[in-house]
A and B are shown apart, each in its own frame.
Chain A
Amino acid sequence: MKATTPQQDLIRGIWKENPVLVQLLGLCPALAVTNTVANSLAMGIATFFVLVGSSLLVSTFKKVIPHEVRISAYILIIATFVTIADLVLAAVVPLIHKELGAFIALIVVNCMILGRQEAFASKRPIGRSLLDAVGTGTGFMIALLMMGTFREILGNGSILGVSLFGGGFEPWVIFILPPGGFLTLGFILLAFGWWEERKSETIRVRQWPHGVATPSREEAA
């Protein structure tokens, strides 16, 4: 497997392989609980905690866990962390816990988390796995916060519950309802795709005319 630097392991998940915006993983919480910034933040932090904890344990015990039952073992580890997160949220921030409801428990089946265990933490050293989990968790949180900010501003006219526009603003309620999640994700992916396309276009233009003869960026790398 190709060697990566620790920096790459950390940065990769945040933007270039962002779990939600690029890999399209973990969409269920990203669509369901991002109707306010506070909910997005709580979900992001809970998922971050579960991902980092699970990656640490899976990477530590990767030699001990038999190959045949590795998925069961990963799920067991993930479920334990999710239960801890669920109880701690209920004890510390009961209002947000009530809002997130079943979606805290559903972090267990977030394929982004299981994906990182199977594809990374079960094969790499502990330090690298931690960096990867921190990066991916941060990327997930960024994506959720983007959606939460967008939806709360349009759907409720506020950020973190602080009203932005005063009484004259009629909230665009659909954005805090489930369809608003799909619309928001669609708009964000559209903007993301358009921006990526423009970037590659710029690279091609800059390389011309030498770019014609030189190998493309992927081959050079």
Chain B
Amino acid sequence: MKELPQVSDNTGTEQLPGGPSGGPPGGPPQAPERPPTSSARLITTLATAGALAGLVIVLVFGWANPRIQAYRAKVLREAIQVVLDSPETVRTYYVVDGALSETPAAGADTVTAEKVHLGLDAEGQPIGYAITGQEPGFQDYILVIFGYDVDTGRVLAMKVLESKETPGLGDKIFKDTAFVAGFRQAAAPLEGVKTGRGSGSENEVDMITGATISSRTVIGIINHRIEALDPILGAADIDKTAATAATAREGPEALATREDGS
């Protein structure tokens, strides 16, 4: 703050009360005489300002939040289409007490609750589950979604939803198409190998040179999530006839109703 009055001196000799230029030479800076304001007035002013600020923020939040949530849902829908190879319908299941459930646990938030998305083809046959997972990478958490076929135990495809990995190195986990394609039909548990060092096993995924930690994290996320969910998904009895499209509920119509309601 000390620099500010000096720069502004081009506009005149502004002196900040109590600032470095406020006092006599040699002495400590002295604020000009000013009657003290009562504490009640100070508190009232700040409280009023705070209340008004809060009101404004709430209004803006009410406008922005449906749009932010709609964008998140759209990103997720598009990612599910990618990792499950364009399913006809998608059903969302919540993981409740080690079993799949169509409804989240009582009191759980539908946004943060653990869930998987089952993709069905045109005949209503399951293609696989889209599963998300998040773990710390090199810079920050990496959020990955991948398709998993329980019957064959293979990963269908992988997509990085969020990451802040180093541009030019770690960001190859989503920019390097060869790395992303390496997850197609790889058998779980995945095993990261250096390019060209693999033995040809179906579990192997070629890692990226220069992005070892980022690639290892992606492989680790997928393995950990499969390890945790495979027993649950394998035991789940999916009602193939009741193919209600769960995603339709989160479509643009849902946004419209939410906007009308608010």
A176-B37 Cα distance, complex, nearest whole Å: 50
Stretch from B13-21, B91-99, B119-127, B201-209 contacting the other chain: B13-21
Whether a CB of chain A sits under 8 angstroms from the CB of B23 is no
The interface size bin for chain B is 35 or more
Contacts of A123 in B (CB 8 A): 14
Query: In angstroms, how far is the closest chain B Cβ from the Cβ of A193?
Result: 16
> Per-position contact with B for A58-100: 1 when CB-CB < 8 Å, else 0?
0000001111110011001101100110011011101000100
Closest to A19 in B: B7
Contacts of B71 in A (CB 8 A): 91, 94
A91-B4 Cα distance, complex, nearest whole Å: 35
Contact status A68-B68, CB under 8 Å: no
Contact status B46-A73, CB under 8 Å: yes
For chain B residues 1-30, which have a beta carbon within 8 Å of chain A? 1, 3-5, 7-8, 10-14, 16-17
Contacts of A15 in B (CB 8 A): none
Closest to A85 in B: B60
For chain B residues 34-87, which have a beta carbon within 8 Å of chain A? 34, 36-37, 41-42, 45-46, 49-50, 53, 56-57, 60-61, 63-65, 67-68, 71
Number of interface residues of A (CB under 8 A): 47
The interface residues of chain A, by DSSP majority, are classed as: helix
Contact of B68 among A23, A90, A119 (CB under 8 A): A90
> Per-position contact with B for A112-127: 1 when CB-CB < 8 Å, else 0?
0011001110010000
Contact status A73-B67, CB under 8 Å: no
Contact status B67-A91, CB under 8 Å: yes
Closest to B168 in A: A173
Contact status A73-B49, CB under 8 Å: yes
Contacts of B68 in A (CB 8 A): 87, 90-91, 94
Whether A83 touches B57, Cβ cut-off 8 Å, given contacts A65-B45, A118-B1, is: yes
A155-B171 Cα distance, complex, nearest whole Å: 15
Contacts of A68 in B (CB 8 A): 36-37, 42
Contact status A66-B45, CB under 8 Å: yes
Contacts of B56 in A (CB 8 A): 80, 84
A-B contact pairs, 17 of them (CB 8 A): A3-B12, A4-B11, A17-B7, A23-B3, A65-B45, A68-B36, A68-B42, A72-B46, A76-B49, A76-B50, A79-B53, A80-B57, A87-B64, A87-B65, A119-B8, A119-B14, A120-B11
